[in-house]
Structure 1
Amino acid sequence: MKAAQVKLTDGPIDLDEFARLKALYGPLAESVRELVDATIRTEVDDEVIREVHAEIEAATAKLRARQLDGSFGMRTTVTGETFSWGNASVGLRNAVAPPLVIESDGAGRYWTQVTLGAAYEGPPGLVHGGVCALVLDHLLGVTGSADARRLTGTLTLRYRRGTPLGPLHAEARVASVDGRKATVRGTLSDAEGVTVEAEGIFVAPAASV
């Protein structure tokens, strides 16, 4: 017997359904991430490529049979928890997203550990500068929104050296708060130290203060 299908456009969902959907879509997106990496790095024979191409087109057609009208946006659970599964940084259903998992020590320090592989390459062997900016923009934005929702006003980056593909660490803290504005500073690092420094000004929309 098939489980009841709940459309995410129907309104807030209960926690059991949220857990079911998370368990369903998370592994799907992770498989697509693996597919992207495999597509970049494969060296199999031409005939295998053609076979896989046909299989992917068939799978895509199945997923297109019923889909959202537009982007995923932000949804809520019945307890008020929000989730943005299409988000390019943290989206559970977005295979483009690494995805980032943001942690905090409760004392103002926020960080994330992320591994960026072949799909995020810019210069050979290095993370694309725009992807570094994506990671830091999201982390600094979360950090600057601890007491009020704030959006990116400006983001200034200093690329100290190339960021190698592989495991990375990013962290951030609020430097100051002035009314609706929060200044946040952060870094992206590999095992050898800091590769990118960032400073952002994040601004709370007038209606939220």
Structure 2
Amino acid sequence: MDAEAAVVGPLAEDLRVLNELSVVSEVDADAVGRAREHLEAARAILAEKTLDGPYGVRFTADGRQRSWGNAAVGLRNPIAPPLEFVKDDDGTVRADYFLRRGYEGPPGLTHGGISALILDQVLGYTATVNGCPGMTGTLTLRYRNPTPLGALHAEARVDRIEGIKAFVVGHISDGETVCVEAEGVFILPRWARERMAAEASAVTEAPAQD
């Protein structure tokens, strides 16, 4: 897993830089044409072998998880900033991240949909690592102040748990000012509950080992 990350991680980072350059570059038409020739060659190489479907979630033999196609945290996904989380002892989850100019919405500011993407991921992850995983049921945002591009901070905490629902609150700030507040409700779906119940039953019914 580490060896693969060392190969595909830099590729995604190169593509993030190219994405920003495609927005802000002011080179002439000839230079754009030459750049596209290089990109066509790269595209042909990468297309030699591809998955038939999405990347999904994968696990290593030691249980480590890879969500590398995820649009918010995916190591292989150039759309992702990507986010890297830190969990405090009290269950609070934090992420410091950087948004390049390709994430612009209002002039010079972060697109509101990007903030929603990030908060959905941060709040959902917070629910999961605090023992109450679920799918997003609702996500309510309050845009308090303009969100700049560049270095930003997100954090979240579980507010309460009601049965299969986890209520999580969080925000994005520029380090000093809260820009966006969010509350999300994450619900453990029926298929997940049924699978967990079946797995628990199998463990209970398994014969004792000598």
Q: Does 1:165 pair with 2:156?
A: no
CA distance in 2 between partners of 1:95 and 1:108 (Å): 29
Q: Which amino acid aligns with 2:106?
A: P
Match of 1:88 among 49, 71, 93: 71
Match of 2:10 among 27, 41, 62: 27
Provide the residue aligned with 1:37 in structure 2.
Answer: 20
Once the 2 structures are TM-superposed, how far is the Cα of residue 57 of structure 1 from its aligned partner? 1.1
CA distance in 2 between partners of 1:198 and 1:39 (Å): 32
CA distance in 2 between partners of 1:192 and 1:169 (Å): 9
Q: Does 1:177 pair with 2:161?
A: yes
CA distance in 2 between partners of 1:118 and 1:193 (Å): 20
Q: Does 1:76 pair with 2:89?
A: no
CA distance in 1 between partners of 2:169 and 2:132 (Å): 17
Provide the residue aligned with 1:204 in structure 2.
Answer: 188
CA distance in 2 between partners of 1:154 and 1:105 (Å): 25
Structure 1, unaligned runs of 5 or more: 1-17
CA distance in 2 between partners of 1:32 and 1:24 (Å): 13
Provide the residue aligned with 1:109 in structure 2.
Answer: 92
CA distance in 2 between partners of 1:172 and 1:126 (Å): 22
Match of 1:135 among 118, 123, 126: 118
Q: Which amino acid aligns with 1:118?
A: R
Q: Does 1:118 pair with 2:101?
A: yes
Matched residue SS, 1:98: coil
Q: Does 1:58 pair with 2:41?
A: yes
Provide the residue aligned with 1:186 in structure 2.
Answer: 170
Q: Which amino acid aligns with 1:180?
A: I
Q: Which amino acid aligns with 2:161?
A: V
CA distance in 1 between partners of 2:133 and 2:37 (Å): 45
CA distance in 2 between partners of 1:27 and 1:93 (Å): 9
What is the aligned residue count?
192
Structure 2, unaligned runs of 5 or more: 198-210
Q: Which amino acid aligns with 2:43?
A: T
- Stretches of 4+ aligned residues off by more than 4 angstroms: none
CA distance in 1 between partners of 2:82 and 2:47 (Å): 23
- Do 2:132 and 2:166's aligned partners in 1 also have CA atoms closer than 8 Å? no
Q: Does 1:98 pair with 2:102?
A: no
CA distance in 2 between partners of 1:176 and 1:131 (Å): 26
Once the 2 structures are TM-superposed, how far is the Cα of residue 70 of structure 1 from its aligned partner? 1.4
CA distance in 1 between partners of 2:89 and 2:104 (Å): 33
Q: Which amino acid aligns with 1:109?
A: T
Q: Percent identity?
A: 48
Q: Which has the higher Rg, Structure 1 or Structure 2?
A: 2
CA distance in 2 between partners of 1:148 and 1:194 (Å): 26
